[in-house]
């Protein structure tokens, strides 16, 4: 199904009638949820999607340095979701990343998620799969149309599950295709999103991609001190002392593979180890140590997340790692430290606790 699915997805991107960037956010959000699951899900919920969409717009609603303002995301004025997220960020300037849901979340965050969820329910979800005057539901089906009732949605949010079905039912093979094509589709959707934002705001292309979709390195620097203490002053990879030379916060699963700034995915390393690893996937031995750190130091990681007001979702990060490692072909070379790459037999992965397919049962 993968190639026919891709052809239909390309049609949506080319002829989907985009007046705002919402549909790009929905596509990226669905990819994220499928990858994070660790195995292809049969459905996701509008509430789950709302959280992912907030995360996508979170970095984009900072003032763009070139023009010193928040960039427009709609051809007819600012998009509602972008404005909602921008207003929340402005009210909470100390937050580097979106807060976690629950009692520790700042006042108003739950309300933000509900408001974003309603916008998704009302506009992009019923319209995303329309092309050329027709509709083909090849990605998902939903139990409502463009005439969805706000009153029914409100009753559902008050606990009346019969009032509104919040499930986004993925078509057979769609989740598998989104996971398999993630490395191709994600940059393609991001490129289309960037082109639209550039056109709406009359901007040159230079540096816009990094602003919209890159990682905030300034924010990562705030984690150096607590990660140094967590790792007993040692580089995660070579285990040498970090007292000499400079260090960097590294993404265990490379940002180019999947944009995850969750605390479990962040490690403190020597600069040279970070450069040598580049965009490679780490070898199985590193994976076992990485999993053990997240499991054995979970309480301390929770403390760091609370003190730094940094997002941590262990199951989400583990699901992403499992999906990525399951998707690489046999014979792939993994980074084994320094300039060494080791060709690995992926049949080994299920036997390594907390890594690859074995991670799904941990």
At residue 141, the 3 state secondary structure works out as: strand
| pLDDT above 70: residue 330 | no
Tell me the angle at which helices 150-157 and 109-122 cross, rounded to the nearest 10 degrees.
140
pLDDT-derived band of residue 232, with 50, 70 and 90 as boundaries?
very high
What's the mean pLDDT in 234-240? 94
Three-class SS of residue 257? coil
Q: What is d(CA 347, CA 349) in angstroms, rounded to the nearest whole number?
A: 6
Residue 164, pLDDT score: 97
Alpha-carbon distance of 23 to 197, in angstroms, equals: 13
Flag whether pLDDT at 349 surpasses 60. no
Tokens of 261: 């700034």
pLDDT at res. 357: 45
Mean pLDDT of the chain: 87
The pLDDT score that the predictor gives to residue 155 is: 96
**pLDDT-derived band at 168, boundaries 50, 70, 90:** very high
The token pair that represents 355 in the structure block = 């890594």
**What's residue 360's pLDDT?**
39
pLDDT digits (tens, 9 = 90+) for 83-109: 999 999 999 988 888 887 666 678 899
Using CA atoms, how far apart are residues 220 and 230, in angstroms rounded to an integer?
A: 15
Three-state SS sequence of 184-200: HHHHHHHHHHHHHHHHH
Q: Is there a contact between 81 and 75 (Cβ–Cβ < 8 Å)? A: no
Residue 253 vs residues 266, 282, 283, 318: alpha-carbon distances, Å: 9, 8, 11, 10
Neighbouring CB atoms inside 10 A of 79's CB total: 24
Q: State the Cα–Cα distance between residues 280 and 337, nearest whole angstrom.
A: 10
Look up tokens 């054995």; give the residue.
296
Domain boundaries, given as residue ranges, for the chain: 2-213, 217-361
Q: Residue 351: is its pLDDT beyond 50?
A: no
Is residue 342 classed as helix, strand or coil in its secondary structure? strand
Q: What is the value of pTM for the model shown?
A: 0.72
pLDDT at 362: 40
* Confidence class for position 354, pLDDT limits 50, 70, 90: very low
With contact defined as beta carbons under 8 Å apart, do 320 and 106 qualify? no
Q: 204: pLDDT confidence band, cut at 50, 70 and 90?
A: confident
Which of 18, 342, 55, 347 is CA-nearest to residue 215?
55
């Amino acid at each position: 199904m993968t190639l026919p699915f891709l052809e239909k997805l390309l049609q949506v991107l080319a002829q989907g009638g985009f007046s705002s960037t919402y549909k790009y956010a929905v596509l990226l959000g669905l990819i994220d949820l499928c990858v994070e699951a660790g195995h292809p899900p049969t459905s996701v919920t509008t509430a789950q999607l709302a959280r992912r969409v907030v995360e996508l717009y979170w970095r984009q609603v900072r003032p763009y340095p070139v023009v010193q303002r928040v960039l427009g995301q709609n051809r007819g004025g600012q998009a509602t979701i972008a404005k909602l997220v921008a207003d929340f960020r402005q009210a909470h300037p100390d937050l580097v990343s979106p807060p976690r849901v629950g009692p520790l979340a700042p006042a108003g965050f739950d309300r933000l998620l509900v408001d974003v969820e309603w916008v998704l329910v009302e506009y992009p979800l019923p319209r995303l799969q329309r092309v050329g005057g027709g509709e083909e539901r090849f990605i998902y089906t939903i139990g409502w149309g463009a005439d969805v009732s706000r009153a029914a949605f409100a009753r559902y949010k008050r606990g009346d599950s019969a009032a509104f079905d919040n499930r986004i039912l993925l078509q057979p093979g769609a989740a598998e295709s989104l996971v398999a094509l993630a490395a191709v589709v994600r940059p393609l959707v991001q490129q289309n999103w960037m082109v639209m934002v550039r056109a709406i705001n009359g901007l040159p292309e230079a540096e816009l991609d990094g602003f919209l979709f890159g990682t905030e390195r300034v924010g990562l620097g705030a984690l150096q001190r607590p990660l140094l203490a967590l790792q007993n002053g040692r580089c995660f990879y070579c285990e040498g002392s970090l007292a000499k030379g400079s260090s960097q916060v590294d993404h265990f699963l490379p940002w180019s593979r999947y944009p995850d700034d969750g605390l479990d995915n962040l490690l403190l390393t020597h600069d040279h180890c970070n450069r040598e690893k580049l965009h490679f996937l780490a070898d199985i031995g590193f994976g076992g140590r990485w999993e053990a750190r997240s499991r054995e130091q979970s309480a301390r990681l929770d403390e760091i997340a609370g003190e730094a007001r940094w997002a941590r979702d262990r199951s989400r990060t583990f699901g992403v790692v499992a999906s990525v490692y399951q998707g690489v072909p046999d014979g792939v070379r993994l980074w084994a430290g320094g300039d060494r790459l080791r060709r690995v037999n992926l049949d080994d992965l299920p036997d390594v606790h907390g890594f690859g397919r074995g991670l799904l049962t941990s």
